[in-house]
Every structure is written in C-alpha cells, then in structure tokens.
Chains A and B, each alone.
Chain A
Amino acid sequence: GAVVSQHPSRVICKSGTSVKIECRSLDFQATTMFWYRQFPKQSLMLMATSNEGSKATYEQGVEKDKFLINHASLTLSTLTVTSAHPEDSSFYICSARDWDEQFFGPGTRLTVL
C-alpha cells in the first residue's frame, strides 16, 4: 500500500513557541490530505482538510489562525501549531487519500511544557 510519512515523530516545546509538522506522501500524489488530533484514550478528531494549492477547510471549532496548514505541493502538507500551549499537547496524525483508501502517517506526539 501507499506510504505516508510524518516528521518529527515526537516534539517537546516550551509554551508560546510554534511547532511545524510535515506530512509527506512518498509514492503517490495527494491533492487532498487530512489532519487529525487524538487525545489520550480518545478517538481521532478531524481538524482540517488540506487542499493542494488552495486554503484548508477547517472543522467546526478548530481555530484556523492557531493551526496553520500549507499544502504547497502534491506530496507535502504542513501543520504549524502557533503559540502552543499545554492544552495543545496531543497526537497529531495526517492522512492522504489514494483513490478510495486513506493512508495514515505514523503520527507526531506533541508535548508542550
């Protein structure tokens, strides 16, 4: 199956700093990628749909100015958590769609101190 990578796999940062997470589709092109967030012992919640060459579409309740998404190429989407706070600590997972199947990255664990 198709492969999606994420970088970094784990990041620890101080409160108030910004963190960038990359999501790459390695062997296919993805016009659409998705970003999810997962808190401990909970399910994945869709944050936004990342569209190549256009603005991301955010789910209700997700602050677009806090979670900046850029999808500049067909194989790369980035999520920047701006001015991170401890409550932003979570597991962030991206996915890319290839035909009718979605392939998920391994996730990025963000810890904000």
Chain B
Amino acid sequence: SQQGEEDPQALSIQEGENATMNCSYKTSINNLQWYRQNSGRGLVHLILIRSNEREKHSGRLRVTLDTSKKSSSLLITASRAADTASYFCATDPYNQGGKLIFGQGTELSVKP
C-alpha cells in the first residue's frame, strides 16, 4: 500500500482535552505535512515539518518528527468542538518528484 499508517483511526474527546494523533511512514522523506479535512470538504494545510526538524509549533498545534523511527505526532491542545474533523499526515518521499503520500487519517470528534 502506498499509504502510511495513522492511529488512532478514530478519537473522541471532550472540549478542553488534548488530542494526539500518530503517523508512521515507510521511506526517507523531505518533509511531512499535516492536513485537516471537514466532512465532504477540501483539505486545509496545518503544518509542515522538514526532515531535519524535530518539533514545530503553530498556535495550539505541536508536531514532532522522529526520522529514526519514521514517525510523527500531531498534538492539538485545549481542543474545541470546531476541531472536529479528519486529520491526515502526508509524506513527501525523497526523490519522488514532490508527490505526497497520505496516511489513512484520524477522525477526531470533540464533544462540547
């Protein structure tokens, strides 16, 4: 399969709690990106982390990257009901012409 693995597949939390999603991939990468998708809508780019970076923050988002384990995590702190969406990681494999390979996604539900 060209896809990476994400876990959990589904996550349900209460507003205010933190949400952590994990992503694993198979090949060497240039960078890894996280996207959000609301049901039936397009993708929203959240954050890009390069292969030489270990951690990156953007507002309530914190992304880590461990290239030795070929894994990444996305942490959303102080979640809100509006964070309810599907979250996908996507890798930019080294020497593959810039195409992105998407993980299977995590469906996050934040209950008010």
Residues of A within 8 A of B (CB): 1, 32, 34, 36, 42-46, 49, 57, 59, 91, 93, 95, 97, 100-107, 109
Provided the pairs A101-B45, A103-B45, A106-B42 are in contact, do residues A34 and B100 lie with their beta carbons within 8 angstroms?
yes
Flag if B101 contacts A46 (CB, 8 Å). Answer: yes
Complex: chain B residue closest to A103, CB-CB: B45
6 contacts between A and B (CB under 8 A): A44-B102, A45-B102, A46-B2, A46-B101, A102-B45, A103-B45
Contacts of A91 in B (CB 8 A): 40
Flag if B97 contacts A46 (CB, 8 Å). Answer: no
Contacts of B97 in A (CB 8 A): 32, 49, 57
Complex: chain B residue closest to A1, CB-CB: B45
Provided the pairs A93-B42, A100-B31, A100-B48 are in contact, do residues A46 and B92 lie with their beta carbons within 8 angstroms?
no
A-B pairs under 8 A by CB, number: 61
Asked whether B25 is an interface residue with its Cβ less than 8 Å from the other chain, the reply is no
- Among candidates A42, A57, A102, residue contacting B100 with C-beta atoms closer than 8 Å: A102
Provided the pairs A1-B45, A104-B45, A107-B41 are in contact, do residues A59 and B2 lie with their beta carbons within 8 angstroms?
yes
Complex: chain A residue closest to B97, CB-CB: A49
**Complex: A93 Cα to B45 Cα, angstroms:** 14
**Complex: A24 Cα to B96 Cα, angstroms:** 22
Provided the pairs A46-B2, A105-B42, A107-B42 are in contact, do residues A100 and B92 lie with their beta carbons within 8 angstroms?
yes
B88 to chain A, nearest CB (A): 6
